[in-house]
Structure 1
Amino acid sequence: MTTAAANSSVPSGALVTGEFSFSAANFREIAEIAKTEAGIDLPQSKATLVYSRLAKRLRALGIDTFSEYCETVRSNESERDSMIAALTTNVTRFFREGHHFEHLRSAILEPLAESARRGNRVRLWSAACSTGQEPYSMALTVLSVIPNAASLDVRILATDLNPHVIAHGKNGQYQKEELRDVPPNLRAKWFEPVPGDNRDALKIADDARSLVSFRQLNLMGTWPFSGPFDAIFCRNVVIYFDRETQSMIWNRLTRMLRQDGALYIGHSERISGPASSMLSTDGITSYRRKSSQSS
C-alpha cells in the first residue's frame, strides 16, 4: 500500500532541524511502521509533528539520533507501542458530544431496558476508549436507564491501542475538574472520594466500574470477540487512516452491530465503503444498521 509518507519525491536530506538529526529516511521508516502496525497514515506534512512527539521518546530513552531510535523501534515491541501512543492524540472528556449519549439513552437503552431486566444480554463497545471517560459515560447512561444493570447481563467493552490509557481507565480515578460535564445527579450517585490525601480526585463507584471491561486492542489486528453489539462508539479514530483503511474499519464495525444497532462516529468523520449501504443516518453522526441487511 503506497502512502504519501513513502513517496519517492520526499527529499533525502533533513526534514526537521532541531535537537536530534531527523532525515527523510527516518521519517519514511517511522511512517511505514505506523502504517503497518496501526494503520496510521502520515503524510510528509506531518514531519514536524512526528519530530516533536517522538523527540520526547528519544530524551526518555537517552537516544541521540532518530536513526538509533528507528533501530530500537524495529527490535522492541514495547517501544513500538510507545511510539504509536505518542503519535496519536487522546483527547477525551465525560459526555463529549452529548447528543450521542442522548441517542444511546432514548433510541437504544430505553427500548432494551425491559428485555435486560428479563435477563437478556446488552452489549456496548467503546472502540477507542482512551483514559476511560467515554465508556464510563456510557456506563452512567446505562445506569440512568437501568439502575440495577450491574446485576444483569449488561456489559461495556472498552478497548484502545495504548496500554497506558487502558491502565488509567481501569483505575477509574479522575480529578474533580474532569467531571464538570457529568450531570450533578450522576456525579453525586456514582462517584466517591478517593481514600487518602488526594482531595481533588474522585473514583467511579464499583457498580459503574463493574459494567466496563478494559482491553488493549489494535483495530488493524484480530478482534477476539464476535458481538453482536447494540451500540458501538468509534469516534475520532479513522481520521488517522487513509480512505481504504477507513472503509475497511467501517465495514468491520458495522458487521459487529446487531440489526438496528447504533454506530457513533466523530464529527469530522464520514462513513464510506460497503458500510454506507448497511447503515442509515439516525441523528448527528449517529447511524443504525439497517434491519434488512444480513450479517
Structure 2
Amino acid sequence: MCDKSRDDALTLNQQEFSFICRYVHEHAGIVLSESKREMVYRRFSRIIRERRLSSFSDYCRLLQKNPEQEQNYFINAITTNLTSFFREQHHFDYLRQHELPALIRNGSHEKYMRIWSSACSTGEEPYSIAITLMQAMQGLLSQWDVKILATDIDSNVLAKAKQGIYAKDKLDDLSSEIKRQYFKQGTRENSGKVRVAQCLSKLITFKQLNLLHQWPMKGLFDVIFCRNVIIYFDKDTQQDLFARYYDYLKPGGLLILGHSENLGSFQSDFDNVGRTIFRKPVISAQAQVV
C-alpha cells in the first residue's frame, strides 16, 4: 500500500522528462518523443520504487552520479521487446526458397555461412532463422560451417533468449511439424512451457551489443537482420548504421529490415529484392565506373 501511494504521488516534469530523453539518446541512440511520456513514467516509476527513491529528480541525479552502475538497468527498462516466432513470415520464406539455396550452390567449395540477428530480443528471431536453415539445408548442415550471431543491447532479454524456454502459447501460429521437430514440451512444473531443440541452440551465439558502440566482429555476413529497431533512432544515426551494415555484408549479401523501415538515402546503394529485403551489389556502382 505504501509503495502504491508513493507511485501515485510521483510526478514527471518537463525538465526530468527532457533529461531522460537526452540520456536515452546519448547512451542507446533511441529517440523518445512527447508521445512516449506515459511509457517513461510507467517504466521508471517501477525503478524509482525498487531503488527506494522519492522522485524522478532523485533518479536523474542517480544516473548522473553512478552512470556505469545504472546504465545497463536503465537501458533494459526503456527498450521495447515485442517479437514472435516467424514474425514477418515473408522474410523467412525468401531465405528458405531463394537465398539459402543460392548460397548452397555458390558456396559448394567454401561451405561457410554467417547470419546476424542484430536486435534479437528474447530470441524468437534467431531461432526462426535456425529453423529456416534446418529446413533449407536438411542433411547438408553437418557439412557446412554455419553460425548465427544474435545480439541485443538488453541483457535481460538475452538471458531469456539463451535459455530458450517459452510459454507454450508462443507456438500457437506454428505448424505441428515445426512444434514436433524443434521444440520439447515441458512436463510437471514446466507444464505449459517449451524448450527449443538443441539442434537450434548449437547454431546460435548470443552476445550483448550496443549498436552505437564498436562492433567486434571481424568477418563479413551473408545475411543481416535489422528489423524493427532502426525506427527508434534519429535519421543521422540510421544512416550511420546503414553504412556500417553495408561494410559488414559480403558482396551480394542481404540486409533485412522491418515492415515500417526504409534505407533512406542508402536506397541507391542496395538492390531491393523483396519486401524490405535489400541486397548489397556484388560490384559497386563506383567499381563499375572505374
Deviations 1:184-213 (A, max 9, x none): 222211111336521211111111100010
For 1:1-295, what aligned pairs fall within 5 Å after superposition? 19-74=9-64, 75-114=66-105, 118=109, 120-148=111-139, 149=141, 152-194=144-186, 196-273=188-265, 275-293=266-284
Cα distance in 2, alignment partners of residues 117 and 86 from structure 1:
45
Cα distance in 1, alignment partners of residues 195 and 35 from structure 2:
41
Unaligned runs of 5+ in 2: 1-6
The Cα RMSD (Å) is 2.0
> What secondary structure does 1:146 align onto?
helix
- Equivalent residues of 2:117, 2:151 under 8 A apart: yes
Work out the number of aligned pairs and report it.
278
Question: Aligned in 2, Cα 1:45/1:201: closer, same or farther, shift over 3 Å?
Answer: closer
> What secondary structure does 2:9 align onto?
coil
- Equivalent residues of 2:111, 2:143 under 8 A apart: no
Q: Which runs of 4+ in 1 moved over 6 A?
A: none
Cα distance in 1, alignment partners of residues 184 and 10 from structure 2:
46
Deviation at residue 116 of structure 1 after TM alignment: 5.8
Deviations 1:114-155 (A, max 9, x none): 566655210001010000000000000000012352563000
Cα distance in 1, alignment partners of residues 84 and 131 from structure 2:
14
> What secondary structure does 1:213 align onto?
strand
More off after superposition, 154-163 vs 246-255 = 246-255
- Equivalent residues of 1:35, 1:41 under 8 A apart: yes
> What secondary structure does 1:282 align onto?
strand
Deviation at residue 287 of structure 1 after TM alignment: 0.8
- TM-score in terms of structure 2 length: 0.89
Residue identity matched to 1:86: A
- Equivalent residues of 2:114, 2:220 under 8 A apart: yes
